[in-house]
Amino acid sequence: MKGTWVAMLRGYVWVKLVGGEAESFLNAATRDNVTLWDIAFTPSGELTFGIAVPDFFRLRPLLRKNGSRIRILSRHGLPFKMERLSRRKTFAGGMLAFVAAMFVLSMLVWNVKVEGGSAIPEEKIRQAAMAEGIYSMQWSFRLQDAASLSQRLSLRLPEAAWVGVDKKGTSITITVIDSTQPEKKVLENPRHLVAKTDAVITRIVAENGRPKVERNDRVRKGDILISGILGDEKHSKTVVSKGKVMGLVWHEYRIVSPLTTKANNLTGQSQERKYLLIGNRALQISGYGGEPFPLSQTRTTIQRKSLWNRVLPFGTMKESELEVTETEKRLTPAEAKEAGLAQARAELLGKTGRDSTIRAENILHEHTENGKVLLTVLFEVEQSIEVERPIL
């Protein structure tokens, strides 16, 4: 068989030769350029061969000359398939109907997507689109082209800065971009700025409102620093006062600092345990033998297997137990005092805010007792002291 698919396309038959002389028939066929293939004898002594359909009809005169007849054993290839298919009307009809349905369904709009994260409610956009004929189960050919559609849609949606319509196959994407609007301000009540604590003013900057105090003024807790009332008694107006007031504030601290501190140190000895993770269960693989250290820290690392960004429920877990010894450190009173002060400073700055600085510190009282250093310290901190108070 030369070129199987060509033979399939043209169609071929298996044929049995009855009567006549086989050799002379074969010679005649080759002389006439009739292509035969797989020429063989059946056990009963009949010649069988394959022949293409167009050649089959050229065989007639040769057969007549040779005095033999032919019997078709089987038919193969497309022409015969088509013939069989044409006999099955409903099947062929179904195939046609499928192609037709496919074609018709591909001409429909199947889904309409709204994108762009607009503040305009999606319902409203969909309504506008519906009015322009963009809705699912609409015929594609009844829609106008994307450019004029987007133009008409943007006329229907004046709030949008830009409307885009994109048709891809059977889906339509409507992209709506909002025009940018200024940020909304939080509504604020008219207010004063008053002192949080007793302080000496070091700096006052009023953005809005009238400053009531000056640099180096001494204020008490609750005193108005920046007033929200403008004008005199007859003509007055309340405003939202804004500003920044810095002042020196005194904080008294009582510090207790121990002379001995305990610290944990790693000795370097460790034991590893390995686990196999399946789901949320762990199966220990190595590192049996209990806990060898009286004091220890355990560090755990979990590795999960992943396949293409997807975490699988398998993995390994490694636990290393590190031996720890507790060491005691003795401090001199001076060191203990410094440590206590440092801690107090950090605490103070944490409490008073980021823009505060420690201006001065005075140790009022120092006393060592029962392995502790007791201190009383006065810190002078420059910090912001303003707090809002609404005008009622």
Partner 1 sequence: MMRVSRKLRKWTATILDLPQDVVLDLPRITMIGGLQITVENHRGILHFSPHNLRLAMDNGELEVTGQDLIIRNIGAEEVFVEGKITGVQLHQKGQSN
CB of 4 to partner 1, least distance (A): 13
Q: Which two tokens stand for residue 142?
A: 């009844």
Phi-psi region at 236: left, alpha or beta (left = phi > 0; alpha = psi -120 to 50): beta
Residue 66 or 352 with smaller CB distance to partner 1: 66
When computed from its CA atoms, the radius of gyration of the chain, rounded to whole angstroms, is 49
CB of 41 to partner 1, least distance (A): 5
CB of 40 to partner 1, least distance (A): 4
Residues 226-285 that bind partner 1 (CB under 8 A): none
CB of 57 to partner 1, least distance (A): 19
Is 37 near partner 1 (CB under 8 A)?
yes
Residues 11-30 that bind partner 1 (CB under 8 A): 22-23, 26-27, 29-30
**Angle at CA of residue 293, ends 291 and 295, nearest 5°:** 115
Q: Which of 9, 18, 38, 221 binds partner 1 (CB under 8 A)?
A: 38
Size of the site for partner 1 (CB under 8 A): 18
Residue 1 or 147 with smaller CB distance to partner 1: 1
Residue 40 or 186 with smaller CB distance to partner 1: 40
The whole-angstrom separation of Cα 165 and Cα 187 is: 39
Of 160, 105, 164, which is closest to residue 134 (Cα–Cα)? 164
Q: Which two tokens stand for residue 236?
A: 């007055």
CB of 60 to partner 1, least distance (A): 19
Residue 22 or 378 with smaller CB distance to partner 1: 22
- Stretch touching partner 1 by CB under 8 A, among 36-44, 83-91, 143-151, 221-229: 36-44
Residues 44-73 that bind partner 1 (CB under 8 A): 47, 49
CB of 62 to partner 1, least distance (A): 14
CB of 18 to partner 1, least distance (A): 16
The whole-angstrom separation of Cα 27 and Cα 33 is: 10
Q: Which of 8, 39, 143, 239 binds partner 1 (CB under 8 A)?
A: 39
- Stretch touching partner 1 by CB under 8 A, among 41-49, 94-102, 127-135, 211-219: 41-49
Residue 27 or 332 with smaller CB distance to partner 1: 27
The residue count for the chain = 392
Q: Which of 3, 5, 40, 168 binds partner 1 (CB under 8 A)?
A: 40
Q: Is the Cβ–Cβ distance between 71 and 18 less than 8 Å?
A: yes
Q: What is the DSSP letter of 220?
A: -
For helices 122-131 and 146-156, the axis angle rounded to 10 degrees is 120
Phi-psi region at 22: left, alpha or beta (left = phi > 0; alpha = psi -120 to 50): alpha
CB of 28 to partner 1, least distance (A): 9
Residue 49 or 275 with smaller CB distance to partner 1: 49
CB of 285 to partner 1, least distance (A): 58
Q: How far is CA 103 from CA 95, 98, 142, in A?
A: 12, 8, 16
Q: Is the Cβ–Cβ distance between 163 and 118 less than 8 Å?
A: no
What burial class does residue 156 get, using C-beta atoms within 10 Å of its C-beta: 0-12 exposed, 13-18 middle, 19+ buried?
middle
Task: Give strand ranges (E) for 92-220.
Answer: 111-115, 160-168, 171-178, 191-195, 199-208, 210-211, 218-219
Backbone phi and psi for residue 123, each to the nearest 5 degrees, phi listed first: -55, -45
Residues of this chain that interact with partner 1 (CB under 8 A) are 2, 22-23, 26-27, 29-31, 33, 35-41, 47, 49
